[in-house]
Chains A and B, each alone.
Chain A
Amino acid sequence: MFLKFSQITFFYFLLLSQVNGAESGGMPQLNPEFWFSQIFWLIITFGFMFVVLSKLVLPKISENLETRKAQISENIESAEKQRLESENKIKEYDKLILESKNEAKNYFNQAREKILKDVDKKRENLEKEINEEISKAEKEIEDLKNKSPDKVRKIAIETSSDLIKQVIGVDVNNSSISAIVEDISRKRN
């Protein structure tokens, strides 16, 4: 089987080489028949392509690339600028927040101080008033204290004169009664 297969292969190769040899007759590349035609058409086609490419197409492509590069760098620049701006804004914002915090603290402190002061003042006033009231009351009491013996004496004199009049039916001199009352009250004291 293998022998037969290799035999067939060998003969086919032989056949192939014969066929190739028959159709080629040497390399067509070395046949100068169409050399000038090839050179001529090469110059024409390549030259045409070169001229159109270099004059029309390539400048356009390079221009496109340049504009894209410019646009991209511009965008990057503006992005950078905006980033800086936003950073500045953030800084400003932070500063503002800090300031307002401080201000709020100040306000708070001030308000507290004020309230404390107010409270102090009011308390002082109140204390003063209370003291005044107290002293007034004390004075009144004192007055009352001072006045009461006189009144008592007067009442005692009147009552005793009335009593004497009723009991004895004689009008006694007020001064003598008062002397007696005074004597008694002195003794009591």
Chain B
Amino acid sequence: MYQFNVYRIGPEIKIGEIDLSFTNASLFMVISSLAVLIIFNLGSKKSSLIPNRIQLLAELSYTFVSKMISDTAGSKAKPYFSFIFSLFMFVLFCNMFGMIPYAFTVTSHIIVTFVLAAFIFIGVTVIGFIKHGFGYLKLFVPSGVPVVLLPLIVVIEVISYLSRPVSLSVRLFANMMAGHTMMKVFGGFVISLGVVGGWLPLGFSVALTGLEILVAFLQAYVFAILTCIYLNDALNLHH
């Protein structure tokens, strides 16, 4: 579990009682965000009719995210495009950088994913109330439900709504942590079984690396698309 340890890099920074030191987690957040900025800045610099590779990458990502948003949340979600794009790219790059050996996986910490999820939850709720006023509470009352069942349904809906940030954050955090732990365990098997029996877990480790890269992308995608779905609930009240 050493790979999940957070330790201070450089001097201790304290504001009052709160420790805001620069840590390895902070380092990888900085690296991820700078990587995103560098890649997309390079990708947007030149505007040629036939894009070069990095421009193509940037434009494909752009259209990918914008299509994802318009498919799930409709055209009303356009103002939130840059936030969801940043979110997707940040989570994706943090996940991907975590796949580099000896790197730190920012998203394998519940506090990070929870802060992101809580921010999304609060933001979506605020947007919902701004758009629909108290009508937004109709979200908890699905149409076409027998009156007898209504109290139960409303309670369930409220609980499911409130558990959104938890499920959103725990999904990402648990996926990343479990994947990395599994790889660590198989890596441990390789060492402990030695030259004789280590080949099988080594093969597993290689396969798991591929799987984890897939999961890293998939979880970033799921995180972003769930944000879109929540946003869709807030923007287009269907119930």
Q: What 0/1 pattern do residues 91 to 132 of B give for CB contact below 8 A with A? A: 000000000000000101111100110000000000000000
- Contact between B86 and A29, CB atoms less than 8 A apart: no
- Contact between A37 and B173, CB atoms less than 8 A apart: no
B30 at the interface (CB under 8 A from A): yes
B161 at the interface (CB under 8 A from A): no
Stretch of A60-68, A91-99, A109-117 on the interface side: A60-68
- Contact between A15 and B192, CB atoms less than 8 A apart: yes
- A88 nearest CB across to chain B (Å): 29
- B28 nearest CB across to chain A (Å): 9
Residues of B near A27 (CB, < 8 A) are 1, 4
CA distance A35 to B47 in the complex (A): 42
* Contact A39:B111 (CB < 8 A) given known A58-B85, A65-B63, A68-B49: yes
- Contact between B86 and A34, CB atoms less than 8 A apart: no
44-66 of chain A: CB within 8 A of chain B: 45-46, 48-50, 52-54, 56-58, 60-65
- Contact between A61 and B29, CB atoms less than 8 A apart: no
- Contact between A60 and B44, CB atoms less than 8 A apart: yes
Tally B residues with Cβ within 8 Å of A. 56
Chain A interface, DSSP helix/strand/loop, else mixed: helix
A171 at the interface (CB under 8 A from B): no
- Contact between B192 and A61, CB atoms less than 8 A apart: no
CA distance A64 to B116 in the complex (A): 30
| Set B55, B82, B108: member contacting A50, Cβ < 8 A | B82
Residues of A near B36 (CB, < 8 A) are 49, 53
Closest to B40 in A: A57
- Contact between A12 and B192, CB atoms less than 8 A apart: yes
- A46 nearest CB across to chain B (Å): 6
- Contact between A35 and B37, CB atoms less than 8 A apart: no
Ordered by A's residue number, 19 sampled pairs between the chains whose C-beta atoms are within 8 Å are A9-B193, A24-B2, A27-B1, A27-B4, A28-B1, A29-B177, A39-B111, A42-B106, A42-B112, A46-B33, A49-B33, A49-B36, A53-B89, A54-B82, A58-B40, A61-B40, A61-B59, A64-B51, A68-B49
Instruction: Taking A38-B6, A46-B90, A56-B41 as given, write out 19 further A-B residue pairs in contact, using a Cβ cutoff of 8 Å, ordered by the A residue number.
Output: A23-B2, A24-B1, A29-B108, A34-B6, A34-B19, A36-B18, A36-B20, A37-B6, A41-B23, A42-B29, A48-B33, A49-B37, A50-B83, A53-B86, A58-B81, A60-B47, A63-B47, A64-B44, A64-B51
